[in-house]
A and B are shown apart, each in its own frame.
Chain A
Amino acid sequence: DVKVTQSSRYLVKRTGEKVFLECVQDMDHENMFWYRQDPGLGLRLIYFSYDVKMKEKGDIPEGYSVSREKKERFSLILESASTNQTSMYLCASRAPGGIYGYTFGSGTRLTVV
């Protein structure tokens, strides 16, 4: 069974901390994505990567960066966490082309205090 694994289900961090959210997929997918989900705002794309060391900004990249050193791992970095980054963070991967959708991880609920 294909899998996207996010390293933490729940995280509590302090304002100003540097936060790393890790995501690993075992499907050999080229494309990986980071979203955040907030009530009433749907799924908003932060960054995505279509190959190792390649990345593109999504709709809301401010305050975030990403790293993709290996195909299976895509990390989201909050350079200096702020309270407005409290959210559910979702990682997804996708095979290229076709009518294939995303496979999502279970999500990380991040609270910044």
Chain B
Amino acid sequence: DQQVKQNSPSLSVQEGRISILNCDYTNSMFDYFLWYKKYPAEGPTFLISISSIKDKNEDGRFTVFLNKSAKHLSLHIVPSQPGDSAVYFCAGGAGNNRKLIWGLGTSLAVNP
């Protein structure tokens, strides 16, 4: 049973346009969500987070939106750059639970 779902395995976007990566979850107990970015042959790096009491968090070109009623969050990248080409993972966490629950990832390709 996948508690965090990233239904699009891949996404292709033109440079300068908006990239929207989606994530759905089933566990209402999540207190926060995280987005990680992963380049090939490297470990994932933290990108942005959002608490479940917020509906938006922005950091530069990256904005995460949370819709709790729909159990849906999305990561917006504006404007997209070729260096953003990577696999993006969404993860949910709850309270003091040590483990994060991960989606399967979305591979983003930003074309020049």
Residues in chain A near residue B41, CB distance under 8 A? 9, 88, 107, 109
Query: How many inter-chain contacts with C-beta < 8 Å in the A-B complex?
Result: 59
Q: Residue B105 contacts which of A42, A58, A88 (CB distance < 8 angstroms)? A: A42
* Alpha-carbon separation in the docked complex, A50 to B90 (Å): 23
Residues in chain A near residue B80, CB distance under 8 A? none
Q: Is the CB of B105 within 8 A of A102?
A: no
Q: When each residue 21-37 of chain A gets 1 if its CB lies under 8 Å from chain B and 0 otherwise, what string results?
A: 00000000001010001
Contacts A40-B104, A42-B104, A42-B105 given; indicate if A99 touches B98 (C-beta within 8 A). no
Q: Is the CB of A107 within 8 A of B43?
A: yes
Interface residues of A in 1-29 (CB under 8 A from B): 4, 9
Residues in chain A near residue B102, CB distance under 8 A? 42-43
Number of interface residues of B (CB under 8 A): 26
* Alpha-carbon separation in the docked complex, A108 to B98 (Å): 23
The A interface, classified by DSSP as helix, strand, loop or mixed, is strand
Is B31 part of the binding interface, using a Cβ–Cβ cutoff of 8 Å? yes
Contacts A41-B104, A43-B89 given; indicate if A97 touches B96 (C-beta within 8 A). yes
Residues in chain A near residue B98, CB distance under 8 A? 31, 48, 50, 94, 96
* Alpha-carbon separation in the docked complex, A103 to B49 (Å): 14
Is B51 part of the binding interface, using a Cβ–Cβ cutoff of 8 Å? yes
Q: Residue B34 contacts which of A37, A43, A45, A101 (CB distance < 8 angstroms)? A: A101
Residues in chain B near residue A40, CB distance under 8 A? 9, 104
Q: When each residue 71-113 of chain A gets 1 if its CB lies under 8 Å from chain B and 0 otherwise, what string results?
A: 0000000000000000010101010110101111111010000
Residues in chain A near residue B104, CB distance under 8 A? 40-42
Residues in chain A near residue B9, CB distance under 8 A? 40
